[in-house]
Amino acid sequence: MPIYEGQSVEEAIQNGLKALGVTQDEVQTTIIEEGKKGFLGVGKKNAQVSLEYMAKQETENKSETVNKTEAEEDNEKSSEEIETVEEVSDKEAEQAEKLSEGLDNQEALTQLSIYLTDITKELNAPATIKTSRDAGRIVFDLDTSKKGLLIGRHGKTLNALQYLAQVYIHRIAKNKLPIVVNVGNYRQKREDILESLAERTAEKVDRTGMPAFLEPMPAFERKHIHAVLSKKSYVTTHSEGDEPYRYLVVEPAKKYY
């Protein structure tokens, strides 16, 4: 049973019809997966459909026993076993809601490690996790051979993991625990980039007298820029928007607009 994919069900069907060289009236369409847009780029999944000739289907219906081919069984097994990051997150969220009293710090951190490990498996980049403390924050270092998959373009996947981890720990932990998710030395390099960005932005704001709006970033990254620019008396900073799209505004201490 051939399976065809596309960003939507309609696109998957059209891809199948083109591959088979038939019209939609000549085949029976079965939707296997409707597809998901994902969350912040994490958990995106293409739509999947199967197309079978109508004549073949009629013959199978007349048969007393329909034997599944090994390929069909493999496809069904994959469909059942593979869940998106969003689905893993939903199940963990349901479990977290049941923990009304909250977990002690160590137990909550252990559960978060399991949670992140499950997500990395779903992203096909299984990772081992090491925890450490840095400047009052608890750092979860994800060690994997596929660092690029967990970091993503411009760090978007890693920031999505960061957001999910922070939301999850807030739900299950009795105390408020500041969490940082890191892969390799990405966060260290990112701090250097943020400091450079802060300096350039402050210079631009001072030169033009106009505010600057930075891209959305995690709370601890905004805090880092806040700290860098707090030493410059000619600019002020504040955050606007809602998580995970909250962003930093840098403006002149003396407004010209």
66-82 pLDDT per residue, tens: 344 443 443 443 333 33
Evaluate the CA torsion angle 175, 180, 183, 188 in order and state its sign: negative
Helix locations, 209-247, DSSP H: 219-229
What is the predicted pLDDT for the residue at 40?
Answer: 54
pTM exceeds 0.85, yes or no: no
- Structural domains in the chain, CATH included, are 3-81 (no CATH), 85-184 (3.30.300.20), 188-252 (3.30.1370.50)
DSSP 8-class letter at 49: E
Highest mean pLDDT among 65-69, 73-77, 99-103, 248-252: 248-252
Tokens of residue 209, six digits: 């007298």
User: Which of 87-91, 130-134, 239-243 is the least confident region?
Assistant: 87-91
What is the predicted pLDDT for the residue at 197?
Answer: 94
The residue with greater pLDDT, 215 or 32, is 215
Query: What's the chain's average pLDDT?
Result: 79
At 147-172, the pLDDT tens digits run 999 999 888 899 999 999 999 999 99
Characterise 184 by phi-psi region: left (phi > 0), alpha (psi -120 to 50), beta (else): left
Alpha carbon distance 170, 154 (integer Å)? 26
Helix locations, 184-251, DSSP H: 186-208, 219-229
